[in-house]
Structure 1
Amino acid sequence: MNQLDQLKAHTIVVADTGNFKQMAQFAPRDATTNPSLILKAVQQPDYAPLLTDTVAAHRGAALDEIVDQVLVRFGLEILKVVPGRVSTEVDARLSFDTAATVARARRLMALYEAAGIGRDRVLIKIASTWEGIQAAAELEREGIHCNLTLLFSFAQAVACGDAKVQLISPFVGRIYDWYKKQAGAQWDEAAMAGANDPGVKSVASIYNFYKKHGIATEVMGASFRNVGQIVALAGCDLLTISPDLLAALQATDAPLAPALSAQAAQAMNIPALSLDEKAFRWAMNEDAMATEKLAEGIRLFAVDAGKLDKLIAESK
């Protein structure tokens, strides 16, 4: 049995791509997208008509409305391929505006519902800022489920658990990138692999905290750099994986055993924790990696959202 099939026995596998034509070969349950992945997809000949057709159908509408139509159109195509859920992202430029994030999320969900898709099949992706987490808390109370992304710290995870969000996406690879860059020539790849990888350790600590304290929020490890990181998180609720790493897992039959377990977490001595806004902001301030990577992630997604705007505006 290949590693991908072995992984599926312990963890829900999610495809991290906007390329829905490539997705089917890996039979993921769910799929995630983000502005960068959608931008990449619409520039490919296979997907360009999807953009032009959507723009043509909504000519005269405001740019932000057409963007949402394009995102949902991709989501609808993805939902024809996966049996589970698709994650669709709110514009990263709204990451510090709770009310605007809530409004945009409601609009995205309304578009899905108008196309006959139920709320159980959509997750609204929102950056894990304090404002984003509060928006998610409000949306969850309305039955709109959220995927809190750009999550790099334990504090962000605690606040998401407090907010009762459906799912979080801690970014394994970007945490790894930061520590590797900081260490420079001192970095020892072998010593910092597997369970010692700083990104893996971050996700494992969040998973164990949630399971110890009965927090229902799902943990979905994201942003992987290598197969070793994935193998070290087998047993996590979900893992969202790029097509190249899905292919690498499919290509090997090496044994894969679960590394995380809810049962093991329940036996651990992990204190309960809850954070108000002041405590959250202080914890983030104390965590240089999380502060830098969250800001960088929002900036990068905002740049790609701007490029998508430009492509759509030029197609109008």
Structure 2
Amino acid sequence: MTSKLDQLRTMTTVVADTGDVAAVRQHKPVDCTTNPTIVLKALQSPDFVEIIAREIRDGRNEGATEGQRIRSVASRLAIAVGAALAAEVPGRVSTEVDADLSFDVQGSVASARRIIKAYEARGVERDRILIKLASTWEGIEAARVLQHDGIDCNMTLIFSLAQAIACADAGAFLISPFVGRILDWHTVHEGRRFAPAEDPGVLSVRQIYEYYKANGIGTIVMGASFRNIGEIEELAGCDRLTISPALLDQLARDNDLLQRRLSPSSAPKLARIEMDERRFRWEMNESAMATEKLAEGIRQFGQDLRALRTMVRDQLYETA
């Protein structure tokens, strides 16, 4: 019997949730996803010492103010990580718009266009990049504009069907429902543990997947933020799954049979739901979990973005 990882590859596109180049070379995923947390961690690796020095040197004079220079170099570093990953995978790399633009439609659109232009300057074409946007109403509206312009988007921090429907209506290329963070919330608030088959995060992704397939929606569903391989096993057959190196290792060492759990042909008939801004905001308000985890996720990415900028500031002036 082949490993569960190899079995999973036959039914789901496997994506690496990491900036670790060595792990990507080992597991050979199709795509890679990054976020400010992953970028910050990647830049602590010896693999990026020379890259950091180069980007700080080349970006030192970009921008008229100190703040602009710091933001510019931080963006260069995130794109440098993405470009290094793009050299290792045949598919796409996701790069996130700054978290502090999560409620700014025009700011997000402008940032995304700069990211694509910066990648193209490094020889990485736009069809190799996914722009990650937080799935606020504003983030979704930014995706609508970008998708119209031919820039594909990965809508992150998905915690509800309402978000998933709004993203599909905007024509988003891909969504990332966060399985583990949904589980975390329910574990705390219900005071109990969940078996993989009843895991609230698993059930959320299954609901979204079935709604999309029942209604012929082409937006890709990519489960993310896994806490254990049981969650991954319960979503075998999902369009894509983005998995950390530690869980990829576990799947590679396990040779038991992996059963397919999700399939377009088995999706039940589900009526299409009309989603406008009023309904979106009401549905989010009605879900304490979705509201809290979306806000928490943006705050966490914001903290890591500030940490990255602080690192840049310190190194800019250390090497001045």
Q: Return the alpha-carbon distance in structure 1 between the equivalents of residues 239 and 77 of structure 2.
A: 29
Q: Is the aligned partner of 1:196 residue 2:198? A: yes
Letter of the 2:53 counterpart: T
Q: What does residue 285 of structure 1 align with?
A: 285
Q: Secondary structure at the match of 1:46?
A: helix
Q: What does residue 25 of structure 2 align with?
A: 24
User: Gapped runs of 5+ residues in structure 1?
Assistant: none
The C-alpha deviation readout for 1:88-112, integer Å capped at 9, x for no partner, is 0000010000000000000000011
* Superposition deviation, residue 47 in structure 1: 2.2
Aligned pairs, number: 309
Identical amino acids, percent of aligned pairs: 51
Q: Is the aligned partner of 1:70 residue 2:77? A: yes
Q: Is the aligned partner of 1:116 residue 2:118? A: no
Residues 1-40 of structure 1 correspond to what in structure 2 (within 5 A)? 1-40=2-41
* Superposition deviation, residue 315 in structure 1: 1.2
Q: What does residue 175 of structure 1 align with?
A: 182
Name which of 145, 157, 161 aligns with 1:154.
161
The C-alpha deviation readout for 1:6-29, integer Å capped at 9, x for no partner, is 000000000000111221111100
* Superposition deviation, residue 274 in structure 1: 2.0
Q: Return the alpha-carbon distance in structure 2 between the equivalents of residues 120 and 41 of structure 1.
A: 23
CA RMSD of aligned residues (A): 0.9
Q: What does residue 240 of structure 2 align with?
A: 238
Q: Return the alpha-carbon distance in structure 2 between the equivalents of residues 48 and 150 of structure 1.
A: 30
Q: What does residue 296 of structure 1 align with?
A: 296
Letter of the 1:290 counterpart: A
Q: Return the alpha-carbon distance in structure 1 between the equivalents of residues 108 and 21 of structure 2.
A: 26
* Superposition deviation, residue 86 in structure 1: 0.1
User: Normalising by structure 1, what TM-score?
Assistant: 0.96
Q: Return the alpha-carbon distance in structure 2 between the equivalents of residues 18 and 228 of structure 1.
A: 24
User: Gapped runs of 5+ residues in structure 2?
Assistant: 63-68
Letter of the 1:28 counterpart: P
Q: Is the aligned partner of 1:205 residue 2:212? A: no
Residues 42-191 of structure 1 correspond to what in structure 2 (within 5 A)? 42-61=43-62, 62-184=69-191, 187=192, 189=193
Contact 2:55 2:73 in 1 (8 A): yes
Name which of 255, 262, 274 aligns with 1:260.
262
Letter of the 1:281 counterpart: R
Name which of 224, 242, 257 aligns with 2:226.
224
* Superposition deviation, residue 217 in structure 1: 0.4
Moved over 6 A (4+): none
Contact 2:42 2:81 in 1 (8 A): no
Q: Is the aligned partner of 1:270 residue 2:261? A: no
Q: Return the alpha-carbon distance in structure 2 between the equivalents of residues 311 and 250 of structure 1.
A: 35
